[in-house]
Amino acid sequence: MESTRYQNGLETLNAITASTGAAVVEGLRDIAPDLADWIIEFAYGDVFSRQDLDLRTRQLATVAALTAMGTAAAQLKVHIAGALNVGCSRDEIIAVILQMAVYAGFPAAINGVAAAREAFGHR
């Protein structure tokens, strides 16, 4: 069962983030291997791989949540790139970030736009 969770998680992580996400997870292995496994097994194997939402919708929701948090710029950039990878447009991503100005405040939206600018620039 665990190997299936891990395999599903790894496949979903790669579908969203290509090699970027895997590199982030592998960067945790030397100091926090359990955290690396939890990200793959739980976040991607159990949650992101569910069939009730497509990956585009999941990525837009993730971009919204990370923007609203305002404290996860590195993760936001990875998920903005992931949103692009699964077919979201730049306009859709910006629209989601702008929507967060209403619920999370203008500073969060401004920081989200800055993260988007950087993620878009790496394309």
104 residue type, one letter:
A
Of 15, 37, 52, the last residue of a domain is 52
Picking from 78, 116, 72, 74, the residue whose alpha carbon sits closest to that of residue 95 is 116
* 41 and 59 in a common domain: no
Q: So what's the pLDDT on residue 18?
A: 86
* 43 and 61 in a common domain: no
Encoded tokens for 108: 């969060």
For residue 107, is pLDDT > 80?
yes
H-type helices in 2-122, by residue range?
A: 2-17, 19-26, 33-38, 55-69, 73-85, 90-104, 106-121
Please tell me whether residue 73 adopts helix, strand or coil conformation: helix
Q: What is the mean pLDDT of residues 67-92?
A: 96
Query: Can you give the pTM of this predicted structure?
Result: 0.91
Q: So what's the pLDDT on residue 2?
A: 62
| Structural domain count, the chain | 2
| Residue pLDDT, tens place only, 15-51 | 999 878 888 888 999 999 999 999 999 999 999 999 9
Domain that holds residue 112: 54-123
